[in-house]
A and B are shown apart, each in its own frame.
Chain A
Amino acid sequence: MNMKFLFSLMLLPSLSVAPAAENLIFNSGFELGSAGFSVLRSRPLENFRGGFDPSGGAFPERKEVKSGQGALRLVSLPDQRLTLCSSEIELKPATRYTFSFWAKCNADLKLVWKLSSRQQEKEKLIWKDLSRTFSPGREWKEYSCTVTTPPAPHRYYNFYLSVQGAGTVFMDNLQLAEGASVTPWTPASDPEAAVFLPEIVTDAASLSGKLRAVSYSADRNAEFDLLFCAVGKTDAPVKKSLRVPLKRGIASETEFRFAPFPYGCFQVRPVMGGRELPPGARGMTVHCHAPVWKNTAGGSGFKLGVNTAILGRYTSNEIVDSTGTGEERGKYLSYLGNLMRIWNPGEINWALCNPAPGKFDFSRILSAVEIARRNGFDLEVTISDGWTWMPGKPNRNIPQWTWERDLAGRQYPTSDRTDTTRMVKLPRYEDWSAYAAAFAAAVGDRVRFVDLMNEPNCSFSGKTYAKYMKAAYDAIKKANPRIRVVAGSATEDLGARAAEFLRELVSSPEASSMDLLSFHPYGSRQDDSPVPAQNRIRQFRQIVRDAGGKVPLWNDECFYLQPVARSHYMLEHDLPVGAVSRRILIDMGEGCFASTPLHSDQTLDDPLNPNRVIQSWDSRCVPSKLFAEMNALACFLAGAEPLATVEQRGEYLGYVFANRGKTFSAIWSAGDPIQLRLNLPSGASFRMYDLYGNPMAAGKVLALTRVPVYLEWSGVPAERAAEILRSGAVSVENPFRVGPLRWSVRDGKTGLQFELGNRNSKPVSGFVRVNAREFRNRGGRAEFSLLRKESPVSIFVPLTLQSESVKEIPVTLLVASDDRLISVKRTVRITPRIVLEEGVLSGPYPIARVAEGKAPASASDLSAEFSLLRKGDELSVRVRVTDDVAGKGKKLPFLADCVELFWDPEPFRCDEKYPDRYAPGTRQIFINPYRTPHVSLIDGKEIPGIQVAVTQRRNGYDMTIRLPLPRNAECVGFDLAVDDSDSPDTRKTQLVWSGDGKNHADRSGFALLFPARNGK
């Protein structure tokens, strides 16, 4: 009897056998083909020449089966490895599970089974792998192992089966079940079914797919519900019921159709008996606009696309086809725009392509270029990664042979940047230019844009880069003057300052040796970033203009489009709906030449493992929601010409642009998560489309969210369209703006002080309530009346601490007016409050909290204190530092002996979204006792009227800092830190008085000084 269908007998009540443990693996007998599994092929970089042999892989097997009618055949070729990836399995923590499978093979090889968890927990990646190795024989045999799962919060797993060695393996009847012993195989459910959908559908009226199902125990009429769900939306799914006649043991397919079928990303999820089948049963598809923008990157107008690899995913030493082979990727990419950036050391890097002087091998990149040509998109090829030199980690991007003839010999110099202590490689100009020239000659006219180096500002200054830029530019132009050279690639990642680098670059004598200037805006990613994206682009353009240049800008990388950086870059790959649209719309609207912020991997996903934090190479990925979003962007923006900006700061942002003879706008709410309604004046005549290009109902009132909508104007000139949008009346759900909360004092009472603003035009009255258990009576309340738009008022809520020892309090702040109650959750830091009486010396106060580095070995190693004295409107800060080693240094001021004075003349003014970040007037002032001049500030800022006097002592120094107090200010934010350096340009310790090591960006730790004027 066939074993696969024997299990049903075990369930008969007449047989007294123990119930079988539940098999948790979907389609474990492969009766549904390979549904629920994906397969990866990988090749070592050194023998990769651009392709994967299609005879290697995983294939449904109908002949060599252990039981039933299906099995899986894994064909592992000598020069490429093979890995089978399962779909998601939910397991209990700290529990024993037994994995078993039947296998046979035709060669001596090993199977490595790895049970793997990659989850997100409180903004952090948590991971765990458990692995076992098996050596299958030539005949069918069952293999097994028992593992204990890790403790919570690990919950979602998948497993990998890697074939080590060349040969063919047949597998059948996989089982993972709770318990420490092998139990007879059973399927995960009876019947089982899986949905099959095309990966990409273009301009279709309906979605067609198939449901493949099998009954293991009996002939039956199985009933399934199919849920048609929009990915990334909360819309209720559309349900379709199917009745499928099944013969026992024979898989059958049933076609289904969903209409209407809007543009976007969709899943079809099968439900049986009211229970949704596991992720392995789901199908996913993207509905795209046809890529009519093919072969348009050579024309005028905006260009867009993604960063990408084409031939395969590069993973430091091998290439994986997890995100598709070259031909598949070429087809995918044509849907995402008309211009892609290749920055992929697997396809091109200097060391790989120039292994010896005068010897070049561009075979990989030429294969990629050919695929791009066939699919109608252009490439920007970054021909080298950065040249940072880390001791013990030789730079593999630079040919080893250049190391021997480095401009600096073997003494790799430290960077000539002030913001890094990295060492760099400085290869000879002629070696570098020869490589660039060879590339230009090899690609001819097939590559239109050449980017010289990725993120050089992590390695050296704009001045140094400019010399290499000119060397490469001249060589490329000589080989092919039609190639456009992209320079800059200036990043704000890793603490680098792009503006400073670009200023140096465009002001250099070599500034004309570039055709385009690119940047990676990680420091201003979105319109709601602390520095809004549009402002950063305007700043860069001003820098170019100030230097007398006109070079166009290109945002050619910004993967993590959250407003600010989060804890782990893998967690930032998956973006909220609308994020990439906002970014690219801003780039277009602000006049950038092109925008390619995302990596193509981000547009793909693995629907089989919805709770796994995917690394793009570790399972097979297919087009997903960002794919559909990028596709719609290409539809609206490829070839677009920006015409007008519509910006109401803090309210909404939009752009008017022309494309294909029509006038469009894109517009969205600038607040987050604010939703607002924009009442448009008369004259607005347009069609409206959602993020994916689906028509929407349009009216005089636009309900704007963070997700942009597109307007297609009819008979309205662009300037009039902009005027209509600018003059719309805004109404919002939450009219209140709450500034930074500061623990303050007023009339001898402690309490919370902050600024309260009103966004709406209607004046409001009400009250503010602060709730927290740390306050007596659990909080307090203050009234406000007739709060008018653009006229914020200062609110003081009297509060008494239950305990003086508390340092931080999470509070709930409620603002009430009429029938509205708005809740704001913040953390308040209890910082010192000092009243400055005229002529009365206050202090001394110890500067003793270790904010950075090691604690001082002793008071003589480092200790400090300060006193304050107010005379009229002048504050005198007297600092006494005891330090046994004087550290002058040359680089960043805080890497030497230094006093840092944090000064905030308007502690209650702020950006609404980031209340504790620096306000425009906030300053971090560096005062180096051993440098002249003593005072320095970052980014060219100034602090008018500051005077410093330093007296050096044998064991330290005394410093008097005088600075004017802002007139009529109730209080100012203030803090002091002391940096200690005992070796050149290295900070050993930072001590701080009130705040902490975040003082440079966060003013919530500053103390408040109250200049007592007129006896108050």
Chain B
Amino acid sequence: MKQRWMTMLLLTAAGTLSAADAIPLQLSRNGSWKADESGKQFTRTVKDGVAEWSQVLAKAELEAKSYYRFSWRMTSSKEGSSDPLVLEVNGPEKVHLSRYTTFAPAPDIQQFHLYTDTCPGTYTFSLRSGMKTAQTLTCGELKLEKLSSSDLEQELFSSPATEFFHPLKSGWRNAVEAADDSSPTGKSISFTLPEIYSLRSAYLPVVPGKTYRLELWVKGSDVLGAKIRMDTYMGPLEGKHCYRDVNVSVSKSWKKVTAEWKVPTDTAASPMLRSGMLRLDMKFNSPAATVSVAGVSLKMVKE
């Protein structure tokens, strides 16, 4: 089936949500998920060793050519559980996005973005849990907002704690942001090469034709090279994508990296531009070093 550029997912933690328009959601659940009296808060008690895929569902009507942000809060009584949680989005007609990323329970609100392009209609957001470690899950504060043009001009990263991950040969691993008194933000994502060689962001909504400014701070335990790619790309989709590479010499002290890129508009040459999404992909080149990244910012430049 031909994939349509319709529904884009992005897992991010919510910061301060703007005054975007709230879209009514129709909520439901299945399996061992239970709703409270309001019907907006859900709980699931997982018994040890008993696997069951069940879900909380949110359904809404979305317009064409629009950016949306879906957000929720999913917490677990068992901190650090490695059991998977999956988000699936199914749209009208041919739009059916299978799982392409997972997320972990977190105390923060999490979010993802989507762009409907030419496919308006009914969309279902399915938060699926397949736990088999004994714990209690709670899910609530589900929200869907339509982003205005001013929303798209705001800072696109809100909290690196849940917006970055490390692609590994064996899968992927959440990036860990920890307190770091040496960092210009007081926190940093630190990791050790060569076991971890890359840091990648989730997908961020961008508007083709607009210029975006990237800023971040980076340092290494040794001098090393890095390549930072701003990539109009979304994993499950197909088609040529376009990107801008920034080569960086990482030093032993914090160094600020800045770059600007006008996102092209030629969707014929780069069909992936129709996704309306961009991700950052940083690759580091050293046999062994510790790298720290902080203060990642991506924002539309006002013209």
Contacts and interface: CB of A to CB of B under 8 A. Distances in A.
Interface of A: 767, 769, 771-773, 777-779, 781, 812, 814, 816, 818-821, 823
B184 interface: yes
A778 B181 CA distance: 8
A773 B180 CA distance: 10
Contact of B184 (A772, A773, A778, A821): A821
Main secondary structure of the interface of B (DSSP, over half): loop
A138 to B, nearest CB: 63
Contacts of A778: 179, 181, 186-187
Interface of B: 179-187, 217, 253-258
Nearest to A816: B184
Given A779-B186, A821-B217, A772 B181 contact: yes
A777 B186 contact: yes
A671 B186 CA distance: 28
B181 A816 contact: no
Nearest to A819: B256
B182 A769 contact: no
Chain A interface helix/strand/loop/mixed: strand
A812 B182 contact: yes
Contacts of B187: 778
Contacts of B183: 769, 771, 814
Contacts of B256: 816, 818-821
Contact of A821 (B181, B254, B258): B254
Contacts of B254: 821
Given A778-B186, A779-B186, A821-B217, A771 B253 contact: no
Nearest to A820: B256
Contact of A812 (B181, B217, B255, B257): B181
A821 B180 CA distance: 14
A818 B255 CA distance: 9
B185 A769 contact: yes
Contacts of A819: 255-258
28 contacts: A767-B184, A769-B183, A769-B184, A769-B185, A771-B182, A771-B183, A772-B181, A773-B181, A778-B179, A778-B181, A778-B187, A779-B186, A781-B185, A812-B181, A812-B182, A814-B182, A814-B184, A819-B255, A819-B256, A819-B257, A819-B258, A820-B256, A821-B184, A821-B253, A821-B254, A821-B255, A821-B256, A823-B182
A823 B252 CA distance: 13
A656 B112 CA distance: 69
Nearest to A778: B186
Nearest to A823: B182
A781 B258 CA distance: 20
A781 B184 CA distance: 9
Tell which of A777, A778, A781 has the most Cβ of chain B within 10 Å. A778
B184, B254, B255 pick with most chain A CB within 10 angstroms: B184
A648 to B, nearest CB: 26
Given A814-B182, A821-B254, 5 more contacts: A771-B183, A779-B186, A818-B256, A819-B258, A821-B256
Contacts of A781: 185
Contacts of B257: 819
A781 B256 CA distance: 17
Nearest to B217: A821
Contacts of A820: 256
Nearest to A821: B254
Contacts of A777: 186
B33 to A, nearest CB: 34
A773 B187 CA distance: 11
Contacts of B181: 771-773, 778, 812
A796 to B, nearest CB: 17
Nearest to B256: A819
B217 A769 contact: no
A653 to B, nearest CB: 28
Given A819-B255, A821-B217, A821-B254, A773 B179 contact: yes
Contacts of A773: 179, 181
Nearest to A768: B184
4 nearest A-B pairs in the assembled complex, by CB-CB distance: A812-B181, A771-B181, A821-B254, A819-B256
B161 to A, nearest CB: 13
B137 to A, nearest CB: 28
A816 B182 CA distance: 12
A816 B215 CA distance: 13
Contacts of B185: 769, 781
A266 B258 CA distance: 46
A965 to B, nearest CB: 37
A772 B257 CA distance: 25
Nearest to A825: B181
A175 B236 CA distance: 73
Nearest to A812: B181
B132 to A, nearest CB: 36
A492 to B, nearest CB: 38
Given A819-B255, A821-B256, A771 B186 contact: yes
Contacts of B253: 821
Nearest to A810: B181
A543 B231 CA distance: 73
Contacts of B255: 819, 821
A778 B187 CA distance: 9
A671 B287 CA distance: 38
Contacts of A772: 181
Contacts of A812: 181-182
A865 B81 CA distance: 58
A647 B181 CA distance: 37
Contacts of A823: 182
A771 B257 CA distance: 21
Contacts of B184: 767, 769, 814, 816, 821
